[in-house]
Every structure is written in structure tokens, then in C-alpha cells.
Homo-oligomer: A and B are copies of this chain.
Amino acid sequence: MEKAISIQTLQRLPLYLQYLRALSADKGKNVSAKMLGNALGFGEIQVRKDLSSVSDGGKPKLGYCTKELIRDIEVFLGYDNVNDAVLVGAGKLGKALLSYQGFRDYGLNIVAGFDSNSEVCGTDESGKQILHLSRMEDLCRRMKIELGIITVPANEAQSVCDTLVKSGIRAVWNFAPVHLDAPKDVIIKNENIAASLAVLSKNLAQKENLAQQI
């Protein structure tokens, strides 16, 4: 375990985890690569290869120990040590993310939301405070926040990104449909709704059902 891992594998790991978590409640203690593959739509060889990067192995004839596997993936993905984050842009999407409880399962904790519109400031979103943007830098520095989430409209995103970088942020999760410029040492991950939609509508248009479960 802890070998080099491909981005593709890394992206599949949460899917295994999600399925395994749902499984562990009702089913027995072992799970095979074939079973996982069938459930998630992957080939069993791929499943084995993916899991070999994080787990120290299953047993022939039995498969993997569900509980250990869950733990291994969680540890690998760092879900055990929580990542604090700030969110900028308390519009509808921002509020949705602020109040989404599921992030806990992914080791993410949004400590507060920020907005430049004074009207929404001071309000609460499922227990998460929304503060004025001017207070962000101070909070980020004091709490040593490393991750910033951008949910502002496209035209404001670059300026928010600049502010985040100035606040000492090291990674940005960008939901605004624009490309952001940032220093090379800052990681930018774009959440690309338009790209997904493109794949989907192209498939729909072609009536080619080649790629199910994209």
C-alpha cells in the first residue's frame, strides 16, 4: 500500500468507500472485487488494481475484509484527519454546500461562509455563520485554513481567488464557471458542471449508449 496512485484510481476510491459503507451495515464481513465491480460498474481487475494501492490485500476465495477496507480507504484519503475550509459566496449554491452534512464523511469541515453582500452577513446556514468577506483573511490566518471554496458568480471569482491566496490558502475548490489564475503553488480544482453536461448531452444526442456510468 501507499504506492504511486493514478488520478483515475484516486477518483474511484470514494465510490468504493461509499458503497462499502452502505454495505457494512447489513451484509457479512467480506467482499470480493467481482462484487464491488458489478455493483459500481467497473471490471473486477480494475477494482483489484485500485484496491491494491491502498489495502494490504484480500484473501483468495474470500475477498477483502469489508471493515479493514473501509478503514484503509478512509486513511488513504485522509478522511480521518479533518480538513478545515472556508467558503466564499453565500448564494444558493453556497448555502447548499454550507448546510450539506455529508462533507463530514469526506473529512471536510467548512468553518464559515463569507459574502461581500452585507445583507446575508450575520445570518446562519444550518449552524454555519455567514460573515463579511472583509473578515476572511484574519480568520484564515488565525485558524491556518488551507482550503477555500468559491461559489460566487463567474465575474467575481478571480478577485475572490486573489483574496483567498492573499489569506494564505493553499488549495481552491472552484465552482464558478471560469478559469482562475493563481500562483503555481496553489492547487486549483475546478468543479466543472459544464464539462459534465457536455459529455451527457453529447451522448444523448448521439444515441450511442456506449458509455454508461460515465
- Shortest CB distance A117–B (Å): 16
> A102 at the A/B interface (Cβ < 8 Å)?
yes
Q: Is the CB of A209 within 8 A of B185?
A: yes
CB-contacts of A78-131 with B (<8 A): 78, 83, 91-93, 95-96, 99-100, 102-103, 106-108
Q: Is the CB of A11 within 8 A of B198?
A: yes
> When A19-B179, A96-B93, A197-B106 are in contact, do A187 and B171 touch as well, CB less than 8 Å?
no
Cβ-neighbour of A197 out of B15, B108, B194 (below 8 A)? B108
> A166 at the A/B interface (Cβ < 8 Å)?
no
Cβ-neighbour of A201 out of B83, B93, B99 (below 8 A)? B83
Complex-state Cα separation, A201 to B13, whole angstroms: 13
Complex-state Cα separation, A77 to B211, whole angstroms: 17
Q: Is the CB of B203 within 8 A of A187?
A: yes
> A156 at the A/B interface (Cβ < 8 Å)?
no
Cβ-neighbour of A196 out of B18, B184, B189, B204 (below 8 A)? B189
CB-contacts of A157-214 with B (<8 A): 170-171, 173, 177-179, 182, 184-205, 209, 211-214
Chain A residues with a Cβ closer than 8 Å to the other chain, count? 65
Q: Is the CB of A199 within 8 A of B7?
A: yes
> A14 at the A/B interface (Cβ < 8 Å)?
yes
> In this complex, what residue of B is CB-closest to A207?
B170
> When A12-B195, A14-B192 are in contact, do A147 and B213 touch as well, CB less than 8 Å?
no
Residues of A within 8 A of B (CB): 7, 10-15, 18-19, 22, 39-41, 77-78, 83, 91-93, 95-96, 99-100, 102-103, 106-108, 146-147, 154, 170-171, 173, 177-179, 182, 184-205, 209, 211-214
